[in-house]
A and B are shown apart, each in its own frame.
Chain A
Amino acid sequence: MRLVTHNMLMCNLKSCTKDKFPLKVTDFTIEESDVDPNPDFLIGLLPKLEWGALVGTAKALGVGDELPSKIPEDASEDADFLTALHHVIMEVEIKEAKLVCNGCGRVFPVSKGVPNMVLREDEV
């Protein structure tokens, strides 16, 4: 799972009511790879990202040093910014990890890159 997807996930326990997003990433292994950048996609994606969550997660994974704390005003013209963003959201894959809900503490394991968000019977 890449960070573009992590930025969309939320604790899905019905009983959990606060701090469901973002899920904290712990005990992780990551892999970095080369993916062709798509600037049009990145520019379109910017308003849809939860920026604070993305930067926080990237820093926790040790890959967010080049991301600014705020989206630059001229983001679509800023090649360095787009390169950094592309790397963080598309080229870093969380392979193994625990995703921990800050609200209720539920742990969602990531195995072979796939987060498991299936609830147990007593959680449904």
Chain B
Amino acid sequence: MKLKHLQSQLEDVQPFEKAKFALEQYPTTPHLAAHMLTFIDTEYDDIEDQVVCDLGVGCGMLSIGASILGAGACIGVDIDPDALEIAKHNLTRFEVEADLVLCDLGTSSPFANRPVADVVLMNPPFGTKNAGIDTKFLTHAVSIARKAVYSLHKSSTREHIVKTAERLGATCEVLAELKFNIGKTMAMHKQKNVDVYVDLVRLDVSAM
């Protein structure tokens, strides 16, 4: 019930006006966000009252969902001012208090060098257009999370993601494989709908 309710609320989050191919802006769908967040909340209790950072916040889908589920504070970071404009509009409509920071996570992190967040939730670029960007996001995430990082990655890159997580000193668990419909978001896609399989991974950083 909670899941369906959250998903239907998140249907109202306005997506990118024009997704930017170079930034791999695949909007997190309400379906994906609701499943991911409900699972994290019920299985790990890692949302309520937590400080949540959302790296690559885009239009704010995960931050809004986390706030609805009772996150104590959400901070979203993105390189794209256009996306942050839409995110801000979404936050206002949902009456969600989250902060937004403009920063290029490909070159640097805006956060102090300490675990400023309890958890990081993210749907980062997959690294198919910008090789290595997924690793950079994971590196930043692990450096600022006190407990855990939850992240979405293409299932085809699973081995690389698990290795990267372990190299960073985290233990990595693939929690679920989800179908991510990225159809119609990119003008260059020939088919109308493209299903991509993504892993929801959990990096446990509590022992670091």
Residues of A within 8 A of B (CB): 1-2, 4-5, 7-10, 12-14, 20-21, 35, 38, 40-42, 44-45, 48, 50, 90, 112-119, 124
Contact = CB atoms under 8 A, between A and B. Distances in A.
B167 to A, nearest CB: 21
B112 A4 contact: no
Contacts of B146: 48
A38 B101 contact: no
24 contacts: A1-B101, A2-B99, A4-B51, A5-B75, A8-B116, A8-B144, A10-B113, A21-B112, A42-B72, A44-B49, A44-B118, A45-B72, A48-B51, A50-B112, A90-B97, A113-B88, A114-B100, A114-B101, A115-B101, A117-B102, A117-B108, A117-B110, A118-B79, A119-B108
A8 to B, nearest CB: 4
Contacts of A38: 49, 72
Nearest to B70: A38
Given A116-B102, A117-B101, A117-B102, A9 B111 contact: yes
A118 B100 contact: no
Contacts, number: 89
Interface of B: 49-51, 72-73, 75, 79, 84, 88, 97, 99-104, 107-113, 115-118, 144, 146
A113 B75 CA distance: 12
A19 B66 CA distance: 33
A57 B118 CA distance: 23
A9 B112 contact: yes
Contacts of A118: 79, 102-104
A40 B110 contact: no
A41 B112 contact: no
Contacts of A20: 112
B97 to A, nearest CB: 6
Nearest to B78: A114
